[in-house]
Structure 1
């Protein structure tokens, strides 16, 4: 099978995302009078840490090989928090309208001037967008919902607020994905650990990653 990028590294991952949060790019300085100034150096990037359960030796070698596909930090993979493959209210994709909705076909109906509020169209009627849900706008912009909404009878959820703020280029009619929404990440160089126990050969794999724009 041909390997393509971004690589779906987390497909079948035998572990958990122990961290998935925003890395804020800010600088802070203080005056002699004690006033603190914070300068924003750019939109936050997502950062993550992943760890497997204890693996048998064959599993361990298999996942070492999967990580090797990325050539360190040279290639990208699809990254998402394993706790939020689906919205809070719909574990395993138990959508209100059943299989008529696949989790990838909603769209941006409107964007607020604040750069952080949007209307989502094309959801099942009554669909609840909850704080903590993750959504992907377009092909790579991952956001966390901080203020939710419920879709009306036409499938429109109004005034959903997200973080980080919208990336440049975000526009009306962009696709909105609520199923395994991901961003692109690369491995943080030197962060992979895959040691095995001397007596049993079992081991765990852990690594860190950061969003690649």
Structure 2
């Protein structure tokens, strides 16, 4: 059966035996220095999540199966849903038991970087550094992934005050969108020419790695 596009987490990224992953949000700016010594910066466009993924050593047969999936994801136009790693749930809810059964959603947005959530458990705490994701824009929708920039606590009704996230919101983000706290995702592609197939013998395959970058394709 052909993989969907984007491939669901369970069909690709979630099935890989990841040993380590480094995810970053590089700045997209340019800078210049004036004659008076002032440093000026300007945006160059959208900031996109990027990551380097290294798989754990595994039996050779499993390694070949993983490489087959990775090869399929290198087709032109192929993409997949990925989870930011390490994906840490809020410290008050490390197993996701408190958030289970709740359906958080965007209550309001302000500027292009502040958001308020509703539908959370009463007094639920979100840590600085945690992730959240949602879909936005007209169908087919795009996937947004944001990191929480400041700690925030919901009130007794499960509503938070406005809080900062990064990157900034893109056009099309509106109140009412469902938000994923326990399993945030973003759409990604494998960066061309970054796959390392590692080394293998008849017993073990090790050292498989590749780089990914977020795509805002609809």
TM > 0.5 between the two? yes
Conserved? CA contact 2:74–2:192, under 8 Å: no
- Is 1:187 aligned to 2:202, yes or no? no
Deviations 1:72-116 (A, max 9, x none): 4631111222211533432231216xx433xxx21111112x321
Q: CA RMSD in A?
A: 2.0
In structure 1, what is the Cα distance between the partners aligned to 2:93 and 2:71?
Answer: 34
SS at 1:63 equivalent: helix
Runs of at least 4 residues off by over 6 Å: none
- Is 1:119 aligned to 2:124, yes or no? no
CA shift in 2, pair 1:167/1:133, >3 Å: same
Deviations 1:176-206 (A, max 9, x none): 1112211111111010111214585422211
In structure 2, what is the Cα distance between the partners aligned to 1:53 and 1:195?
Answer: 11
- In structure 1, what is the equivalent of residue 3 of structure 2? 3
- Is 1:100 aligned to 2:98, yes or no? no
Conserved? CA contact 2:60–2:202, under 8 Å: no
Deviations 1:126-152 (A, max 9, x none): 211111110013251100001121111
Q: 1:68 aligns with which of 68, 71, 84?
A: 71
Q: 1:129 aligns with which of 126, 129, 149?
A: 126
CA shift in 2, pair 1:68/1:88, >3 Å: farther
Unaligned stretches of 5+ residues in structure 2? 136-141
SS at 1:126 equivalent: coil
The CA deviation at 1:56 is 1.6
Equivalent residue runs for 1:1-213 within 5 Å: 1-7=1-7, 8=9, 9-72=12-75, 74-84=77-87, 86-95=89-98, 99-101=100-102, 105-112=103-110, 114-138=111-135, 140-197=143-200, 201-213=204-216
CA shift in 2, pair 1:167/1:145, >3 Å: same
Unaligned stretches of 5+ residues in structure 1? none
Tell me the matched-pair count: 207
TM-score, L = length of structure 2: 0.86
SS at 1:45 equivalent: coil
In structure 2, what is the Cα distance between the partners aligned to 1:54 and 1:137?
Answer: 33
The CA deviation at 1:18 is 2.4
SS at 2:3 equivalent: coil
